[in-house]
């Protein structure tokens, strides 16, 4: 193909793409612009950046396929609604599983564990940034607790090592692990690493003795230097080279251990199921296990991590080992923390564990909590309609009838907009190609919702709608949005087939 022929072919594709874009909800709609940008990128080979104004809050819906991701990231990115930006791209089973969870005997403890699993699952279904948005206020409270209660150690190591091991998330991990250790405890730790947790347990938690094993021989030298820097050279600490897969109950029992810890180890081994089974078999009677692994989708850039863990896998692993979970929690939006034992009886350890003070971390989600009903007298024909095409008449204190001889609809004032609810009566809308709800501020669009009604959707005489910016409030689809606190007007517009008429009635209320 010659250069001119190639150019003509690309031009033809672009022209067809533009025509296709006009068939979408609106030529001005972000989805249409996104399609045009992406086809241009595909044809020309040049990437098209997303507009600065696009601020999506959620991924676009993608039809589910059996044994396939519920959404997928394309090789060329649309400008808005990128799956995975907020809700993680995950696989879902074809049929719901009906396994019965293995639970502890105490109903209250079992309920708390269920809630913990649900929180972990919620974190894992959100992207890292999405979870920060949802749970950030609670996480901030835990970090304040750590800052107020954990003493920073003296470090003989290099500054980069200190920066990693005493990051705010790692400090919170040490703090929460310590919360489940009791004063006078005898601890057996599998994978002591650099000795940070060991030093904190001895110095700040007051455990009576600490016995640690690690597969890396040089870690003992580093840990002992840390102990010396913090006045712990004479503490009852024993470090030895050892492999988790060689661990036995006799070895653990010989130390008099009352608590076994295995944090940030299982993700490094080739067979995590076998590793947890060995840990469970090595627990002497009455001894608890505290372990942690990265949340699904976290720390995936660490090359030493060979596998990932989600709630389903952790539950299966516990079932296979005969362990009961007494406490589970998402930790620092990075790890899953589990307290388990071979007994189903209530856990004294969990009951007596320390934690952050009950300072309220909840934040108000809105400044206004009461909907404002729109009065019929405030509803008028929309500003863009042609004279004579729209007639708006009151049929009640808060309901108007809208008769159309062309594109148009109803307009009403608002004082900012957080949420909008509409009740539309379908008097005669068979000729309506789509409904468009627009919020504007000083004449500038700040959000749009679009619905292309089908015969099935309008089979009943009316329908209620709840609209929020960025959310997929079916059947309406939200476009990009910004500055809705400045919104001063909403328009509910119907676009008709040429030369046709329509009629509907409208009731509206909004949350400022």
pLDDT of residue 37: 46
Rounded average pLDDT over 253-257: 97
pLDDT of residue 46: 41
Contacts of 408 (CB under 8 A, 6+ apart): 381, 382, 384, 385, 386, 389, 390, 402, 493, 494
Half-sphere exposure of 507 (CA within 13 A, CB side): 12
Q: What is the DSSP letter of 87?
A: B
pLDDT at 49 over 50: no
- End-to-end Cα distance, the chain: 59
Q: Are strands 259-263 and 186-190 parallel, antiparallel or unpaired?
A: parallel
* Closest among 117, 111, 100, 262 to 197, alpha carbons compared: 262
pLDDT of residue 473: 72
pLDDT of residue 57: 35
Rounded average pLDDT over 127-145: 94
pLDDT of residue 78: 34
Rounded average pLDDT over 73-88: 54
233 and 168 in contact (C-beta within 8 Å)? no
Rounded average pLDDT over 228-254: 96
Angle between helices 168-179 and 128-149 (to 10 degrees): 60
Q: Which of 23-27, 95-99, 159-163, 221-225 has the highest mean pLDDT?
A: 221-225
Q: Which long-range contacts (CB under 8 A, 24 or more apart) does 306-312 make?
A: 306/267, 306/268, 306/269, 306/270, 307/267, 307/272, 308/267, 309/266, 309/267, 309/272, 309/336, 310/121, 310/124, 311/117, 311/120, 311/121, 311/124, 311/336
pLDDT of residue 17: 46
pLDDT of residue 38: 42
Q: Cα separation of 208 and 190, whole Å?
A: 17
* Closest among 483, 501, 376 to 440, alpha carbons compared: 483
279 and 289 in contact (C-beta within 8 Å)? yes
* pLDDT tens-digit series, residues 336-357: 999 999 999 999 999 999 999 9
Higher pLDDT, residue 432 or 21: 432
Among 100-109, 153-162, 290-299, 412-421, which stretch is predicted with the lowest mean pLDDT?
Answer: 153-162
Give 384's pLDDT tier (boundaries 50, 70, 90): confident
Q: What are phi and psi of 396, to 5 degrees?
A: 175, 175
> How many other C-beta atoms are found inside a 10 Å radius of the C-beta of residue 5?
9
Q: What is the pTM of this model?
A: 0.77
pLDDT of residue 439: 96
* Closest among 318, 340, 323 to 259, alpha carbons compared: 340
pLDDT of residue 13: 46
309 and 264 in contact (C-beta within 8 Å)? no
In angstroms and rounded to an integer, the radius of gyration of the C-alpha atoms of the chain is: 30
């Amino acid at each position: 193909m010659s250069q001119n022929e190639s150019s003509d072919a690309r031009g033809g594709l672009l022209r067809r793409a533009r025509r296709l874009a006009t068939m979408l909800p609106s030529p001005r709609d972000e989805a249409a612009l996104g399609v045009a940008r992406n086809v241009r990128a595909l044809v020309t080979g040049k990437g098209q950046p997303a507009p600065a104004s696009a601020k999506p809050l959620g991924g676009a819906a993608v039809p589910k396929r059996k044994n396939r991701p519920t959404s997928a990231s394309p090789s060329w990115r649309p400008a808005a609604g990128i799956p995975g930006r907020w809700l993680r791209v995950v696989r879902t089973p074809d049929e719901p599983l009906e396994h019965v969870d293995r639970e502890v005997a105490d109903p209250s403890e079992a309920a708390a564990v269920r809630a913990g699993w649900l929180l972990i699952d919620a974190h894992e279904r959100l992207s890292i940034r999405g979870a920060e948005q949802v749970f950030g206020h609670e996480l901030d409270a835990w970090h304040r607790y750590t800052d107020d209660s954990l003493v920073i150690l003296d470090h003989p190591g290099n500054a980069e090592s200190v920066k990693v091991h005493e990051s705010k998330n790692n400090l919170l991990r040490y703090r929460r692990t310590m919360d489940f250790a009791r004063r006078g405890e005898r601890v057996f730790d599998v994978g002591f690493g650099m000795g940070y947790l060991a030093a904190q347990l001895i110095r700040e938690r007051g455990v009576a003795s600490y016995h640690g094993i690690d597969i890396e021989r040089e870690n003992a030298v580093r840990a002992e230097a840390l102990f010396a820097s913090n006045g712990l050279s004479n503490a009852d600490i024993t470090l030895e080279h050892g492999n988790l897969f060689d661990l036995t109950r006799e070895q653990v029992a010989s130390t008099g251990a009352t608590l076994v810890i295995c944090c940030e180890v299982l993700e490094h081994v080739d067979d995590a199921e076998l590793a947890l089974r060995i840990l469970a078999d090595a627990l002497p009677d009455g001894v608890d296990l505290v372990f942690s692994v990265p949340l699904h989708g976290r720390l995936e850039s660490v090359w030493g991590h060979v596998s990932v863990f989600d709630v389903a896998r952790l539950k299966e692993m516990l079932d296979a080992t005969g362990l009961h979970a007494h406490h589970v929690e998402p930790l620092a939006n990075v790890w899953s923390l589990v307290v388990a034992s071979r007994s189903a009886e209530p856990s004294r350890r969990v009951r007596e564990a320390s934690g952050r003070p009950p300072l309220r971390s909840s934040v108000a989600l809105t400044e206004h909590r009461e909907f404002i009903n729109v009065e019929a007298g405030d509803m008028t024909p929309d500003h863009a309609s042609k004279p004579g095409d729209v007639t708006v008449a009151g049929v009640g204190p808060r309901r108007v009838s809208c008769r159309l001889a062309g594109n148009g609809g109803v307009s009403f004032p608002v004082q900012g907009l957080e949420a909008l609810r509409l009740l539309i009566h379908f008097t005669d809308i068979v000729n309506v190609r789509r409904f468009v709800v627009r919020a504007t501020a000083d004449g500038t669009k700040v959000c749009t919702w679009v619905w292309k009604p089908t015969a099935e959707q309008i089979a009943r005489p009316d329908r209620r709608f709840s609209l929020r910016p960025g959310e997929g409030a079916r059947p309406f689809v939200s476009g990009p949005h910004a500055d809705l606190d400045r919104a001063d007007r909403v328009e509910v517009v119907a676009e008709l087939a040429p030369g046709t008429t329509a009629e509907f009635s409208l009731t509206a209320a909004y949350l400022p």
